[in-house]
Amino acid sequence: GLGCIGSLPRTMNGEELGRYVCKKLSAQGVRLCGTQKERISRVAVCGGSGAGTIDSACALGADALVTGDVDHHEALYALERGLLLLDAGHGVTERVVLDCVVDRLQTVANALQWNLDIVKSDESHDPWMWVQG
């Protein structure tokens, strides 16, 4: 399915996890929704618009879900479920898999003997401007 789930190198609270996600994804910031649990250890991740994985994340025992493009009603739903939600943005949460996608596409193209060079564009931008209050 979409996304993955795993354990953090150490337990964190919501704010620490937010800073950790920013650092790992080189994100300008994250939006947090949910209880600031002191012991977050199991985290689900789904790049892009992954709020549709809230139920799966809960069913798999995640304390938090890192994704992008979370809307108001999805955030309220996660809050009801007791899941900490971290929205780091659509593009930044997808960018981490691009090298793997390029490698996979190149492998398939080579296996089919297609004369293609698959390259990752260096052009990437977040259409949203982040303003600090």
Total Cβ atoms within 10 A of residue 83? 21
Domain membership of residue 132 (yes or no) is: no
Identify the residue whose tokens are 């564009």.
121
- For the four alpha carbons of 33, 34, 37 and 39, in that order, the dihedral sign comes to negative
Q: Are 66 and 43 in contact, with CB atoms under 8 Å apart?
A: yes
pLDDT of residue 14 exceeding 90, the answer is yes
Confidence of residue 95 (pLDDT cuts 50, 70, 90): confident
Is 89 a domain residue? yes
The domain tally of the chain equals 1
Q: Is residue 25 part of a domain?
A: yes
82: domain range? 4-95
Mean of pLDDT values over 110-130: 86
The pLDDT of residue 1 is 61
- Residue 122 in any domain: the answer is no
CATH number at residue 9: 3.40.1390.30
Q: 3-class SS at 56?
A: helix
Residue 129 domain-assigned (yes or no): no
Q: What pLDDT is stored for residue 121 in this prediction?
A: 86
30-77 tens-digit pLDDT: 999 987 677 899 999 999 999 999 999 999 999 999 999 999 999 999
In-domain check, residue 130: no
Residue 68 in domain? yes
Distances (CA, A) of 116 to 95, 98, 103, 122: 22, 17, 12, 18
